[in-house]
Structure 1
């Protein structure tokens, strides 16, 4: 039986997820509505520098100021593209991505080559910069199909994903960042594998509109008639499964699980390093003259979306600063309770 920690006050007035409250209560924390008398403030929204400036010892916020540099799709692309230009041999884990409309001309040149064709032979997945839950995502080979004023990314579609039981999937991995001044991060060993609802077929002009085949977003696939969830906490079937299941499948099919996990760790660290200077500057600016200059007054629980290609190489697709903590399925309840509990213990 876990020993209860010192009684701490937690403000959840801007948090909608019951699992956060349940985990706080299980650790003996007190839920408070006080605007000032709290030790931990957990919010579902990003935080600005002004809120950080009001922090007192030993208060903590669950977001870093400036973390939009990694969470916004256009900014993530800008930061990783910059690093890829400087260190192409090290930053080769993010698909070719363009921030539109700023990089529309460069995107059009990359898609159309010499520009003589109206349609590219390459497929791109277009995602609104501030979009979530699969809203507004579409695949295209025609740059002209993208509204010129739309703030979005055009990301090269990964046409040869690793398939399990013939279906495409991605991994939602949870990374706790406790310091961005002197980078410190923890990758949780368990996560979620999210499957498309329909069997994968090689991308073509005729099937680009088949969202249930190409998209792995839970919010999209739960609408499919064949969407199913395993009633077991360590789900090994259905549309959302455990990372433990994926590891077992990889091992059984001849993949080097240890190497894949190490490669994932490297991708995550390099992604964080790409934005560390900007976030550390925003943090120090916010805390300047206050009680903390070394980075411990904030933390961030990030959701990394990783896609494995058919060779088992991991690719960082996007990063979520506000990952969903809904617990609709037993696998969600099990994984997210463990993630949140360990986060609270660590911070």
Structure 2
């Protein structure tokens, strides 16, 4: 086996653009991903993955972008029922028995118990626990929230002091589904599991429109905690100018910034030029920051607070997820996860965490989406560290040296 693997490594070119050498002795080759490969179809980029017979499977989700990036780097797709994969991309959590069966070279895109971060009720409870342990001010990153029906009386007591509006969210939904504003407790169902949060009625506006920011956060380990915040994101705008008056409380196109909601509006404006990042109802985050800086806002301070918010949110769920990893995940490098953080900035330039998304949308409905998301996914796969192990050598731990499988001409 050692002879077989050494013959593989000795034939790798150390200056190949798609190979980086890691580890203490810089002898472990990992694949480097390039976003432009999805368009260029460069055979030199594809050749490394093909030589190593790298395989992936996609389960319970549809992601053309992930599939396109992997295939353009020489991965081949296997049947969802096969376990001979290097990388598994799934839209939901894996069951414990599947996690326990992972080999050291295999990677999946979810940690066990990530719902501690992505379910709205669990996220709030975890942050509330950190507020109690470390001081309310140090973890004041979410609006005041109550989980109903269990905290209905506490909510009513708060409502007497602040009549709202308040925003209602199902505990486990996404894409703006089931979200609405109320100004009276009588408008709230008492027999459903929902969150009631104080509505931030002083949002920062651009050209009188409300917006929020989608941030992409990669966690590669919970022990130790290792977090990467992607340098670019998306600013998503409402399609109706903001008005604090209660008469418009039911206008979702004014109060909600979700793309999946506002794309249905007749006022939605899309941009077909990937080089124009500050037009229409979806901007790049960097374009938004440039605008704010021109308006005299301290964007350096703002992004420092955003980074602080991301770290504290992840730390609030660290214990539960790290414990689950110890129980179910056999190798430290098996799991990684991309989260979609939705952040609202108020008129005082304070960022508020609205929610954390499991499996954030990778749909590319506009050129700006593809520009940002393809680069982000490529960087993510490079950071995850896809070690160049040949699946036919290492699958199922059956390490049998058969020279016929390793003709020199193949490498």
Same fold at TM > 0.5:
yes
Partner of 1:254, secondary structure, is coil
Identify which range, 138-147 or 59-68, moves more after superposition.
Answer: 138-147
Match of residue 244 from structure 1: 286
User: What is the aligned counterpart of 1:112 among 160, 166, 187?
Assistant: 160
Q: What are the equivalent positions in structure 2 for 1:253-264 lying under 5 Å apart? A: 253-264=295-306
Q: Quote how far apart the aligned CAs of 1:29 are.
A: 2.0
Match of residue 366 from structure 2: 329
1:78 paired to 2:125:
yes
- Is residue 174–residue 357 contact of structure 2 (8 Å, CA) maintained in 1? no
1:226-282 per-residue CA deviation (whole Å, 9 max, x = no partner) reads: 101111224211011111210110110111111111111110000000010000011
TM-score when normalising by structure 2: 0.79
User: What is the aligned counterpart of 1:43 among 90, 93, 118?
Assistant: 90
- Is residue 49–residue 282 contact of structure 1 (8 Å, CA) maintained in 2? no
Alpha-carbon separation, structure 1, partners of 2:251 and 2:17: 48
User: What is the aligned counterpart of 1:88 among 113, 133, 136?
Assistant: 136
TM superposition outliers: structure 1 runs of 4+ over 6 Å: none
- Is residue 168–residue 195 contact of structure 1 (8 Å, CA) maintained in 2? yes
Match of residue 246 from structure 2: 205
User: What is the aligned counterpart of 1:57 among 100, 104, 124?
Assistant: 104
**Which structure has the bigger radius of gyration?**
2
- Is residue 39–residue 60 contact of structure 1 (8 Å, CA) maintained in 2? yes
Partner of 1:90, secondary structure, is helix
1:306 paired to 2:347:
no
1:32 paired to 2:82:
no
Match of residue 188 from structure 1: 230
1:100 paired to 2:148:
yes
How many residues get paired? Answer: 335
TM-score when normalising by structure 1: 0.93
1:230 paired to 2:271:
yes
- Is residue 59–residue 91 contact of structure 2 (8 Å, CA) maintained in 1? no
1:344 paired to 2:381:
yes
Structure with more helix by fraction: 2
- Is residue 89–residue 108 contact of structure 2 (8 Å, CA) maintained in 1? yes
Q: Quote how far apart the aligned CAs of 1:142 are.
A: 1.4
Alpha-carbon separation, structure 1, partners of 2:123 and 2:67: 31
Q: Quote how far apart the aligned CAs of 1:9 are.
A: 1.2
In structure 1, runs of 5+ residues without a counterpart are 114-119
Partner of 1:127, secondary structure, is strand
